[in-house]
A and B are shown apart, each in its own frame.
Chain A
């Protein structure tokens, strides 16, 4: 999850360094010389602990353990992570020198936040289960959505989960894992907060990585779409890492809390929160642009021409259009070339167009009644012979006819209506709720039995 040299534009690199400088200064503020020595040695230890490879079925991963840094060092984690990344860039060639500031923000801000969450949670004596459940749900929902979008755009599957469907699937998975953890084995609050801190740290780092590649200014040669895809794949591949990191941090924190609890109490007061907010804001204004998609269809010489553009005035180089009939049946589909796509219909109907130019940008619209009227007139003036000729002529309508042929083999996929989606989401939540209620009742029953036994013994 490190951004290499040469991806970001100079302005983003400078902004990253300025923001990182602010955070490092905030981290070092109030630290004594003895703190520097201790932090330096612990930085080396964290650097090495991060190189330990943890096995996964079929492969192995090295963990980031930045959250542990945040938990143990608090705001001193900013200089610590800055130096660790500098050494990684110089000794191992991971990351970059020009992008060091941005990489440091990606890693250290979530680490610091996860440290704050861990300490606040433990201090207030909250059990942490709701937080655990929310963390898991967030990871799995985003993972499920991005995985299916990535596979869909790679052409490996012919569907992608909508956000509500991803919420149902992710929520259901999180519910099952939650129940296994909650009732399978007794885990204490240090475990739970440790898991949440570890998983959230990597999760937010992956999200920040994605946001930086999506919105920060890139070098002139770097194609935004390619790097957004890269970030999406990186996120999907990190989902197992997030879960393993959560488990390992939970176990490590439990171990450290038992053996040297003072190691987890080194952190300085939260002086860095305000600086951190400003630092992140510094990265934002460069290129936060909405990519609203504009699209329209008009009739010309018996053909419907679909034109697509973005609000910045750019014309998308690729994308696709699906044409649906009045009953929602697919009539044709095609690829957008240089912002345009032409389609010659057999008859005039109130067509609906679904435009998708990738990365979640799209628009659905219907043919304007005036244009429908024009189409009616144009088709009538052509007469049945001409229409037949147009249908059979390879030059006239080859694209649309080929695509219609292809469409026969593919099921039409107009998205589910909002009522349908809501029903599915509610159904999923109901199932999770019922399973939760069943297991909670079972647990309650067990506890009542134990209490009864103890009372009998006392009696």
Chain B
């Protein structure tokens, strides 16, 4: 979990994209999310996916992680793959008994997969190995409310911690002979486990809240390292936006 949210990466693990000011990367992410959400052409979306997958594979999380995430995403899109080809009208591609696969449904499912993959990989590619505190600082500079960011920071900080704690609690319960069954007793046991986790988190949150107040926390975010926008950022934003515009031009004026 730490690895997922980038808490263990220091400056020594930085990749090329981490040197770009995260504010510019957030703007670039929005450009690509908007472009992918707007495009409806198979070729244009394939081009957009390629544009996102190459930087993601070489500069940020690596090809293995990109494929792993795309696999998770495919699981989420699976109902669409299973149902849309059976329900769409038009030309039949294949038939097996009462089930008929339609070309329009297959195209709709593939466009859906392409769009979702492009957006996810665009985010992964821009993420690099930048720690979350820099992202939060950038979002704060881009006028995202400080309270919301504080909430995000605490969620990210305590997510791995509580995850490990809940695993330990569950293991302890299993060691004492607990076995989750599909009956009221099983549900009561699981509810008590989840409840115990919530209660512990609540007391911890109270302590943390009091400690923060005592230290004069006012919800402002500071960075120890200097972050200034320069020529590299301008070049990055221009090339990212230019690629997105080129794909749109390709669709509307060439294809």
Contacts and interface: CB of A to CB of B under 8 A. Distances in A.
A48 interface: yes
Contacts of A98: 33-34, 36-37, 119
Contact of A83 (B98, B113, B151, B193): B151
Interface stretch (A53-61, A288-296, A323-331, A371-379): A53-61
A31 B151 CA distance: 11
A225 to B, nearest CB: 6
A29 to B, nearest CB: 9
A33 B218 contact: yes
Contacts of B194: 49, 52, 65, 248, 252
Contacts of A267: none
A56 B182 contact: yes
Instruction: Provide the main secondary structure of the chain B interface.
Output: helix
A37 B107 CA distance: 45
For chain A, the bracket of interface size reads: 35 or more
B199 interface: yes
B199 A260 contact: yes
15 contacts: A5-B120, A6-B111, A10-B37, A13-B37, A44-B156, A54-B180, A83-B148, A91-B4, A98-B34, A220-B40, A222-B112, A223-B105, A226-B88, A233-B83, A248-B194
Given A33-B219, A48-B197, A221-B111, 17 more contacts: A4-B112, A5-B115, A5-B119, A6-B113, A33-B212, A38-B205, A39-B151, A40-B158, A41-B158, A49-B197, A83-B155, A93-B69, A219-B111, A226-B87, A230-B80, A233-B79, A248-B191
3 tightest A-B contacts by CB? A40-B154, A6-B115, A41-B205
Interface of B: 4-5, 33-34, 36-38, 40, 69-70, 72-73, 75-77, 79-80, 83-84, 87-89, 98, 104-105, 107-108, 111-116, 119-120, 123, 145, 147-148, 150-159, 161-163, 166, 180-182, 184, 186-188, 190-195, 197-199, 201-206, 208-210, 212-213, 217-219
Interface of A: 2, 4-7, 10, 13, 24-25, 28, 31, 33-49, 52, 54-57, 65, 68, 79-80, 82-84, 86-87, 89-98, 155, 219-223, 225-227, 229-230, 233-234, 244, 247-248, 251-252, 255-256, 259-260, 263, 317-318
